[in-house]
Chain A
Amino acid sequence: MIVAAFAGFCLLAGVVDLSIGSMLGLSAAVCASLMSQGWPLAAAAAVTLLVCLAFGAVNAVAVVVFGADTIAATLGMLVALRGVIYILCEPIGAITAFDADFFAFTNTTYGPFSILFILGLVLIGIAAVIVTRSRIGRHVQAVGGDDRAALRAGISVTRVRFAALLLSALGAGIGGILYVGQLGSTSNVSGTGLEFQVYAAMMIGGYSILRGGVGNPIGAALGLLVVAGTANILDVQAISPYFANIIVGLLLLAAVLLDRLRGGDAFE
């Protein structure tokens, strides 16, 4: 929910950030690397977020300033950052960075709800309010819906898309730091495939990758819960978790078909 709350702004603005999985892995690797060298958590987290924002800015410059295709540019970043993660995690492919207080915080539960779930809910709620009730949210949706019309209405398309890509990187950065806190370590495969898990759940929840301006953060949260609930049923029944991929794929297909039955582009 934390990564999805931020990544949703990208889809709404009509750009896709495919690098979020590697960005999360990079964030975890940088944070763990700094912490393992004795950096205090706050300093390590701040530097990590700055690094993620810097790479997010590279995405934004490529897409917004140079007009690169958003999928191609962020796919390139996805691959490049995975290489950086492998280098950071050398020689054993993992970094241990255990901080007892941070571990206790990220694994805190209130009743059945983990602190990360509650934090995700809060962020989804804030994102939903911004998207549906604020002028910024309307600008983002306008840019994603029809960038030429938004430009004619006086909205800075470049600024909105630049900010959306930075927000997406920031969300993945926060996710990576919390990941290190939760596990006390990271590996060179952290975040692999996360972009597909998140975007599949978001598309099931009503977002569209190909047309912007569509979607609601609450739908993304519900989509994630449907995917997690489905996977969990299989876990509880001791069924191979690979079946979850099949079910998520079928759910995604059903969501796309339902969208077409509702009218697709014309519906919006």
Chain B
Amino acid sequence: MTTENPGITKFIAADARGWRDLLTGPVTSIGVALILVIIVGLSWAGPNFVSQSNLTIIGTYVGIR
């Protein structure tokens, strides 16, 4: 016979919900999209995509916006 502590069950459920929200949230989605952009950039434009000068150009573009 086993006994279940309802407090622990609630805690685990809340923890699982937090992880689910994190993994399905918009910030995660856009993070994955950014990784995809980097992969496409590297495979299509080559190492120049992450060269120092190109990163400076991207940084300057997004800096003020």
Instruction: Report the bound CA distance from A57 to B21 in whole Å.
Output: 37
Which residues from A are CB-within-8-Å of B49?
A: 232-233, 236
**Residue B27 lies at the interface, judged by CB distance under 8 Å to chain A:** yes
Question: What is the CB-to-nearest-CB distance from A248 to chain B, in angstroms, rounded to a whole number?
Answer: 12
Return the CB mask of A218-257 against B: 1 if under 8 Å, else 0: 1101111111111111011100000000000001000100
**Structural contact, B30 and A226, CB atoms closer than 8 A:** yes
**Structural contact, A229 and B59, CB atoms closer than 8 A:** no
Instruction: Report the bound CA distance from A53 to B16 in whole Å.
Output: 44
Instruction: Report the bound CA distance from A251 to B32 in whole Å.
Output: 13
Which residues from A are CB-within-8-Å of B33?
A: 204, 222, 226, 251
**Residue A112 lies at the interface, judged by CB distance under 8 Å to chain B:** yes
Specify the chain B residue showing the minimal Cβ separation from A220. B30
Instruction: Report the bound CA distance from A259 to B57 in whole Å.
Output: 31
Provide 22 A-B residue pairs closer than 8 Å at the C-beta atoms, listed in order of the A residue. A1-B64, A3-B65, A115-B63, A116-B64, A201-B65, A204-B30, A205-B26, A205-B30, A206-B30, A218-B27, A222-B34, A224-B65, A226-B30, A226-B33, A228-B62, A232-B49, A232-B61, A233-B44, A233-B45, A236-B49, A237-B45, A262-B24
Chain B residues 12-49 with CB under 8 Å of chain A are: 24-27, 29-31, 33-34, 37-38, 40-41, 44-45, 48-49
Specify the chain B residue showing the minimal Cβ separation from A177. B64
Which residues from A are CB-within-8-Å of B38?
A: 229
Given A201-B65, A228-B61, 7 further pairs, Cβ under 8 A? A114-B59, A206-B30, A225-B37, A225-B58, A226-B33, A236-B54, A255-B29
Residue among B30, B45, B52 with the highest chain A CB neighbour number at 10 A: B30
**Structural contact, B65 and A113, CB atoms closer than 8 A:** no
Instruction: Report the bound CA distance from A182 to B65 in whole Å.
Output: 13
Q: Chain A binding site: helix, strand, loop or mixed by DSSP?
A: helix
Question: What is the CB-to-nearest-CB distance from B24 to chain A, in angstroms, rounded to a whole number?
Answer: 6
**Structural contact, A111 and B52, CB atoms closer than 8 A:** yes
**Structural contact, A233 and B37, CB atoms closer than 8 A:** yes
**Structural contact, B59 and A113, CB atoms closer than 8 A:** yes
Instruction: Report the bound CA distance from A204 to B24 in whole Å.
Output: 14
B residues contacting the other copy or chain, number (CB 8 A):
31
**Structural contact, A114 and B56, CB atoms closer than 8 A:** yes
Contact of B56 among A112, A227, A259, A262 (CB under 8 A): A112
**Structural contact, A232 and B27, CB atoms closer than 8 A:** no
Residues of A whose CB lies within 8 Å of any CB of B are 1-4, 24, 109, 111-117, 119-120, 175, 178-179, 182, 194, 197-198, 201, 204-206, 215-216, 218-219, 221-233, 235-237, 251, 255, 258-259, 262
Instruction: Report the bound CA distance from A198 to B62 in whole Å.
Output: 9
Minimum-distance CB pairs A-B, first 9: A206-B26, A116-B63, A117-B59, A112-B55, A229-B37, A112-B52, A236-B45, A222-B30, A117-B63
**Structural contact, A194 and B34, CB atoms closer than 8 A:** no
